[in-house]
């Protein structure tokens, strides 16, 4: 089995080492590099995804289109493209960072804390999603305003904590897209 590595980082996003991904996610997860991406189609609809129930971290919750961790030496843009293909079987263009220095530490969810230096990206879909069921349980194209309203009002962990946290900073600016 392939051992996936994450890149450990300092608060400025500078790499300081690597660690095995699954064994590093626990109640005291070290700060590491990650990304979130919000994908829109040509009509301006947003692609929401619900994480597979097989996921170790935040299974079964709705969230942004795709997220993940860059591999050692991999750029964030390359990581976004790779995870779009792995999770959603799709491609995107016009990938741009909208929150370059987003850092968060989520409260525990099933005993696991996420602690990430997590730039946030937006992109335009180039193809339709063909989700990998091991990664994505459901997906839905929807109006951005509807997604923001649903996620912002969530108190039951129906949506991922990181997504709700990011929406506090990006909801209004992305609504103008």
Instruction: Write the pLDDT tens digit of every residue in 94-129.
Output: 999 999 999 999 988 889 999 999 999 999 999 999
Q: Are 59 and 105 in contact (CB under 8 A)?
A: no
Confidence label for 176 from pLDDT (cuts 50, 70 and 90): low
3-state secondary structure of 155: coil
Q: List active site positions.
A: 67, 116
Instruction: Write the pLDDT tens digit of every residue in 41-87.
Output: 999 999 999 999 999 889 999 999 999 999 999 999 999 999 999 99
Q: Torsion-angle region of residue 170: left (phi > 0), alpha (psi -120 to 50) or beta?
A: alpha
Give yes or no for residue 177 having a pLDDT over 70.
Answer: no
DSSP annotation of 156: S
3-state secondary structure of 1: coil
CATH number at residue 42: 3.90.79.10
DSSP annotation of 60: T
Q: Are 35 and 116 in contact (CB under 8 A)?
A: no
What is the CA angle 131-74-85, rounded to 5? 15
Range of the domain at 84: 5-175
DSSP string, 82-137: HHHHHHHS--EEEEEEEETT-EEEPPPBTTB--EEE--EEEEEESS-----TTTEE
Q: How many domains does the chain have?
A: 1
Instruction: Write the pLDDT tens digit of every residue in 148-165.
Output: 999 999 998 999 999 999
Give yes or no for residue 145 having a pLDDT over 60.
Answer: yes
Q: Torsion-angle region of residue 164: left (phi > 0), alpha (psi -120 to 50) or beta?
A: alpha
Looking at residue 56, what is its pLDDT?
A: 86
Looking at residue 109, what is its pLDDT?
A: 86
């Amino acid at each position: 089995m392939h051992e996936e590595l994450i890149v450990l980082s300092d608060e400025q996003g500078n790499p300081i080492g690597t660690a095995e991904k699954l064994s590093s996610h626990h109640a005291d997860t070290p700060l590491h590099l990650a990304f979130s991406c919000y994908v829109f189609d040509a009509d301006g609809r947003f692609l929401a995804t619900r994480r597979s129930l097989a996921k170790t971290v935040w299974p079964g919750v709705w969230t942004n289109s795709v997220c993940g961790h860059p591999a050692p030496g991999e750029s964030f843009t390359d990581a976004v493209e790779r995870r779009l293909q792995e999770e959603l079987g799709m491609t995107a263009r016009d990938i741009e960072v909208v929150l370059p220095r987003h850092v968060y530490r989520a409260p525990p969810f099933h005993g696991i804390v996420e602690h990430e230096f997590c730039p946030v990206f937006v992109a335009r879909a180039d193809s339709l999603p063909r989700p990998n069921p091991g990664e994505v349980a459901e997906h839905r194209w929807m109006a951005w305003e509807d997604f923001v309203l649903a996620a912002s009002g969530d108190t039951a962990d129906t949506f991922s904590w990181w997504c709700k946290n990011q929406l506090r900073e990006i909801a209004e600016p992305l609504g103008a897209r």
